[in-house]
Structure 1
Amino acid sequence: MNTPQQHASKFSTGQLNDVLEIEVDGAFSEQNALWGCLMGLKRAWDLGEKKVILRCDSSDAVQLILEEENSLHEDGSIIHEIKTMLKRSWQKAKSFQTIPAEIRGEEVSRRWITPEKDWVKVNSDGSSRGNPGRAGCGGVIRDHHGAWIVGYCRDVGWSTAFEAECWGAGEGIEVARKLGFQKIHLEIDSEELLYALKGKEIEGGKPPNCVRMMREAVERCKQFRFSLTRRSGNQCADAMAKLSLEKDLGRECQLFFEIPQEVVRVARDEEAQMIWRDTG
């Protein structure tokens, strides 16, 4: 199959730890998105990547890929080849006991979106100086108006970035629950953490303590949901996690009912870019 030149640059790749992330831009057309998915997967396969995440912003293209039968679609041959590459990537990943390639059906926002009415949103993150290294975690809890309820952070000691992210998520859920909130929406910017939340098998077998703690926190919630965002939509949480390393806060989780001075600028910038959900 010959690839039209105009479709050859519709995807980008980036490395997060040892996971190759492929982001496909579907803003121009459904066909561009399909070609971007195909070229991105071929690139990952050629590089011999063991961990691959394919993310496509075109929900229409995603739906076509997920449908069982596309032989009559005008781009049926492209879709068939994408599915073939996905199957190969899945089999390859399983043979290495790593994360399989996947198409994510939901669109991932680059900005912070208010949660639904009567829900609170916990944005969490982790920060590590080295991997492993001295690490901390933090986050912020806001209501459906986008108002700051509380920020939190703590030192987690010598940890990997993933472990710090787990602690950040678990601490945020627990803080929200102990404050009496029953509808908790957790938002993160880590694909690896997303897999842990979904209960996927952890590489190496038994999940570490931080993953078990996070899952137990989720189980204690009355109503819980989670979502993935870009890093640009998680700036406050990132700033709170870094604050844990800048101050000697100790291992106990510290709460900030007022926005810390070090985070004010980031909080205001994120608020200015906020997307308001229609809550009726």
Structure 2
Amino acid sequence: MINDDVIPWSDLKAKELPNHDEIKINTDGVARGNPRKGGIGCIFRDSECKVLGSLVQGLGLVTNYTAECKAIIKGVELAASNGWLIAWVESDSKYTVKAFNSDNIPWTLEAEWTNAKRAIQQIRISATWR
């Protein structure tokens, strides 16, 4: 039986690849409590789905939301430092994506985000399902 709501893997993969000159950064942040010790992770891929690198970092005492925000910021910073100047950031936190797309992130992270954005030519940020 075929479910019409299910997208075949080949179609899903093609839809999720970045454009030719773009790097895709999948990010995630977590805290084991709210707040508690947290960390972030990012993976960087090119338009052929080749993994170009990854980042894992501990954050100390943070909330889940702050960890999600830091993952995006650190991902963009690392992309720029590697000369990848066109980026597509994908996060599983729709609230974090909404905040970044409306420039409404926590004030404690504004300077970091401003510097990260300044170092990159073009960026888009979107949410994905978990």
Shorter-normalised TM range:
0.7 to 0.9
Counterpart of 2:120 (choices 221, 232, 239) is 221
Report the Cα distance in structure 1 between the residues aligned to 2:87 and 2:121, rounded to whole angstroms: 8
Per the alignment, residue 108 of structure 2 pairs with 209
Which SS does the other structure have where 2:16 is aligned?
coil
Contact 1:137–1:168 under 8 Å retained in 2: yes
Q: CA RMSD in A?
A: 2.0
Bigger mean CA deviation after superposition, 170-179 or 211-220: 211-220
1:182 matched to 2:81? The reply is: no
From the CA coordinates, give the structure whose radius of gyration is larger.
1
1:155 matched to 2:58? The reply is: yes
Report the Cα distance in structure 1 between the residues aligned to 2:46 and 2:81, rounded to whole angstroms: 15
Alignment of 1:77-96 (within 5 A): none
Report the Cα distance in structure 2 between the residues aligned to 1:193 and 1:150, rounded to whole angstroms: 23
Report the Cα distance in structure 2 between the residues aligned to 1:159 and 1:186, rounded to whole angstroms: 21
Report the Cα distance in structure 1 between the residues aligned to 2:110 and 2:127, rounded to whole angstroms: 17
Identity rate, percent: 29
1:216 Cα deviation (Å)? 3.3
Considering fraction of residues, name the structure with more strand: 2
Which SS does the other structure have where 1:221 is aligned?
coil
Which runs of at least 4 in structure 1 moved beyond 4 Å after TM superposition?
none
Contact 2:73–2:113 under 8 Å retained in 1: yes
Q: Which amino acid aligns with 2:40?
A: C
- What are the Cα deviations for residues 22-68 of structure 1, in whole angstroms up to 9, with x where unaligned? xxxxx6xxxxxxxxxxxxxxxxxxxxxxxxxxxxxxxxxxxxxxxxx
For structure 2, the 5+ residue unaligned runs are 6-11
Counterpart of 1:120 (choices 20, 23, 45) is 23
Which SS does the other structure have where 1:218 is aligned?
helix
Per the alignment, residue 136 of structure 1 pairs with 39
1:198 Cα deviation (Å)? 1.8
Q: Which amino acid aligns with 1:190?
A: S
- What are the Cα deviations for residues 60-112 of structure 1, in whole angstroms up to 9, with x where unaligned? xxxxxxxxxxxxxxxxxxxxxxxxxxxxxxxxxxxxxxxxxxxxxxxxxx878
Report the Cα distance in structure 2 between the residues aligned to 1:181 and 1:139, rounded to whole angstroms: 14
Contact 1:125–1:139 under 8 Å retained in 2: yes
Counterpart of 1:165 (choices 32, 54, 68) is 68
Q: Which amino acid aligns with 2:23?
A: V
Report the Cα distance in structure 2 between the residues aligned to 1:164 and 1:208, rounded to whole angstroms: 14
Superposition TM-score, scaled by structure 2 size: 0.82
Report the Cα distance in structure 1 between the residues aligned to 2:86 and 2:122, rounded to whole angstroms: 5
Q: Which amino acid aligns with 1:227?
A: S
1:177 Cα deviation (Å)? 0.6
Considering fraction of residues, name the structure with more helix: 1
